Structure 1
């Protein structure tokens, strides 16, 4: 028996379903239907599953439970829950900073509980602090952390290092909300799972950690995460003593993995020794991301893989239109102040021609939302390009680009998203293939940040999810082309009325 067959049998009994009537409705032979009921095989397709569900007259709650059981039986529990959590991660990606809700930045200041630490204007040396102080409660640890980190933010050139998992909410929230007086560099070394371990609540550790460190990028902190591979639970949560360290230029805290006990050090010799120990660990690790600006007013390397690498999958609010921009449009739309403008336009034109050919030949699958594309048609803004580099595209230019993506829609490489991803954040652009990938989003200063993903399991997770999307989660190429054509017709009518 399987989870699906158990549930199917119980519904047949509860609803007093005649098996003969069910197999007739589903157009299945008796042997096949009884194999499905007895858990010896699954429905051969989603269409067969839907026919069974229709005949059972399920309530919405029963249907969701029934479909989940079917998918678990079809995929296996681990793969099903990994894909569900990946979908949840993509759906909950923070929105932009132009008035839309942000999941974890809006209320960081409000999270400063007066019972945990004092205000920014009242930084005081903790009472009874010697060169080596025992920390025996979570509250005391939070207070000492606030003291040492707040002190570091007052320096012209501060540094903080973390050797712990990204599960210390108080610490990460505090770091995300900092406003350093000078420059503050934050280094963070933690353990990743090469096998995509999951929590008891079916959360993928690696994506969960990614979600927890994103606020530091959104806050535009000088943050550098490094990773090593290990069994996460065994390494951090199984009798490992004081396995975590938080270091500043003057102080160090070592503590256990649930952040309730530790030791606070202020002796310079001890601090120096622990920094050397941390550096020796970090030397054995790899950077999790390479963070860069997508386009810059300083210098742009158009030979970067971000511009040249061909993704297998692109997930973003509006269709991928950048490859269909031509030299004429670049010359008209890019602002005069763009660095080395003429040479940059020449390089971009050559690059875009290559990428246009790749898109036309179907080398990438582009998934996008109706809302995102309609927003482009209305405003003439391509969200992956920073607003300050170009003027909004005219109605004629919008029509031209939409017409150019139509063939890609008709051949099925450009497809609209259905529920739930049709509510994808306007602030997420994800491009991945099996060896390379990056995320684009706007930070709190409305600058477009590019995170190049260096860790393979994150790429594998995104690739697996996006490659598994099928007709149940995507509109067909014909339906997508019909929607694009509607936008083109509306813009043409708008142009006539002007």
Structure 2
């Protein structure tokens, strides 16, 4: 253990007017062992740290500080970064999937109307290019179910995501959007989670047929796409080709050129792989865990949000009442699912009522189960891309022994406090 966390613990022990001897006795370790922990001569394991927290009866903020210091000592920095990215992804998807966001109307640059007498026109400047794309997109979506857009523009250009979300709020049925997305396939270049988050939110839309496809940058498919140019946007009437820096573009309305790009893009789509598949599931009024790792068809590890502790309490008080759901998958309905349940610390994830992220060990697949309680519907978004699957596999292997999971003592104390509130007793 580093001296930093040891010094912080010493101050906390001093504040509580405890001696090293009395704390060591309460935690269940030798005094010399505890002194070595505090001086940084010996590494403190998570279980003993959590026992110290309970013995000192620390506040939530002080626990959070100690957990952060402890986590900084973890050897695998990549797993730590991916874990924080996954929690951020979870919270953003959970927050957005069940609310209607009112997208603010912005001025559209209708410069495409100037092209009526020209086969092609060069457009310079990112603002004008974005305006052209907005204008062509809005016109195409006006065709409702017959609308069809093909694009290979990276979502670092956030206006595209906002554009699609906005049109989904205004139109009852919006047709098809086929999106070709480059992914990195080397760990040092990133984990693709930011792209995944955007794709999942778009795939969850019910009035747009959003079809994301991926390829790995640096592959033969990338060379084929580069023949067309790095970024392109195709509708039923226009083709917009954009340079890599998004500083200049050419817009075409010539039927022959349009036909060429449509055929070429379909050929490339045939070489790419579907990024996210979508399935519907029958509505069940269960509380799903925030994360779940299914090892076999009848064995799983569940991780519930802190605010789902009341569900455990309700289930123990009312055995007939449905508690944390075991499954939606048909393969598991034939037997009883045996599960271990861990509780995530308060604040790690927000309300877990809308989303469950599930990793299937044998199938090497990650499922994002999204519940819409307003219309009582369930969507299952399935990801098989191996890089993302590995990120979630490593995350769920790390999670049980991480600082993000409550110790048994913390769970017991929290349940005791919930019971006290329910019974009208002042919580401890």
TM-score (norm 2): 0.69
- Of residues 264, 289, 293 in structure 2, which corresponds to 1:277? 264
What is the total number of aligned residue pairs between the two structures? 379
Secondary structure of 1:463's aligned partner: helix
Structure 2 match to 1:106: 101
- In structure 1, what is the Cα distance between the partners aligned to 2:227 and 2:35? 56
CA offset digits 1:323-365 (Å, max 9, x no partner): xxxxxxxxxxxxxxxxxxxxxxxxxxxxxxxx9x954xxx111
CA contact (8 A) 2:203 2:211 kept: no
CA offset digits 1:273-294 (Å, max 9, x no partner): 1222222222221101111211
Secondary structure of 2:160's aligned partner: helix
CA offset digits 1:171-226 (Å, max 9, x no partner): 1211122245765111111112233455xxxxx55110111223323432100111
Seen in structure 2, the aligned counterparts of structure 1 residues 93 and 125 have a Cα distance that, compared at 3 Å, is closer
CA contact (8 A) 2:290 2:357 kept: no
- Of residues 156, 177, 189 in structure 1, which corresponds to 2:180? 189
Structure 2 match to 1:135: 123
Secondary structure of 1:250's aligned partner: coil
Secondary structure of 2:256's aligned partner: helix
Structure 2: gaps spanning 5 or more residues: 25-30, 327-335, 423-428
Structure 1: gaps spanning 5 or more residues: 199-203, 297-314, 321-354, 381-395, 491-498
CA contact (8 A) 1:133 1:263 kept: yes
Which structure dedicates a bigger proportion of its chain to strand? 2
CA contact (8 A) 1:368 1:415 kept: yes
After superposition, the CA RMSD in angstroms is: 5.1
CA contact (8 A) 1:161 1:187 kept: yes
1:255-270 to 2 correspondence within 5 Å?
Answer: 255-270=242-257
- In structure 2, what is the Cα distance between the partners aligned to 1:369 and 1:59? 19
Once the 2 structures are TM-superposed, how far is the Cα of residue 91 of structure 1 from its aligned partner?
Answer: 2.7
TM-score (norm 1): 0.61
Once the 2 structures are TM-superposed, how far is the Cα of residue 75 of structure 1 from its aligned partner?
Answer: 2.4
Structure 1 match to 2:201: 215
Structure 2 match to 1:399: 320
- Of residues 337, 345, 354 in structure 2, which corresponds to 1:427? 354
CA contact (8 A) 1:318 1:373 kept: no
- In structure 2, what is the Cα distance between the partners aligned to 1:146 and 1:181? 19
Secondary structure of 2:175's aligned partner: strand
CA contact (8 A) 2:288 2:324 kept: no
1:460 aligns with 2:387: no
CA contact (8 A) 1:418 1:475 kept: no
Secondary structure of 1:74's aligned partner: coil
- In structure 1, what is the Cα distance between the partners aligned to 2:237 and 2:319? 56
CA contact (8 A) 1:418 1:474 kept: yes
Seen in structure 2, the aligned counterparts of structure 1 residues 78 and 436 have a Cα distance that, compared at 3 Å, is closer
1:436 aligns with 2:365: yes
1:177 aligns with 2:106: no
Structure 2 match to 1:305: none
Seen in structure 2, the aligned counterparts of structure 1 residues 404 and 246 have a Cα distance that, compared at 3 Å, is closer
- In structure 1, what is the Cα distance between the partners aligned to 2:313 and 2:303? 17
1:254 aligns with 2:241: yes
CA offset digits 1:215-273 (Å, max 9, x no partner): 323432100111112369xx89xx99951111112111111344332221211211221
More off after superposition, 444-453 vs 248-257: 444-453
Structure 1 match to 2:343: 416
- In structure 2, what is the Cα distance between the partners aligned to 1:249 and 1:401? 50
Seen in structure 2, the aligned counterparts of structure 1 residues 447 and 196 have a Cα distance that, compared at 3 Å, is farther
Once the 2 structures are TM-superposed, how far is the Cα of residue 45 of structure 1 from its aligned partner?
Answer: 1.0
Seen in structure 2, the aligned counterparts of structure 1 residues 254 and 463 have a Cα distance that, compared at 3 Å, is same
CA contact (8 A) 1:134 1:263 kept: yes
Seen in structure 2, the aligned counterparts of structure 1 residues 11 and 256 have a Cα distance that, compared at 3 Å, is farther
Secondary structure of 2:320's aligned partner: helix
CA contact (8 A) 2:309 2:415 kept: no
Once the 2 structures are TM-superposed, how far is the Cα of residue 148 of structure 1 from its aligned partner?
Answer: 1.2
- In structure 2, what is the Cα distance between the partners aligned to 1:253 and 1:93? 31
Secondary structure of 2:159's aligned partner: helix
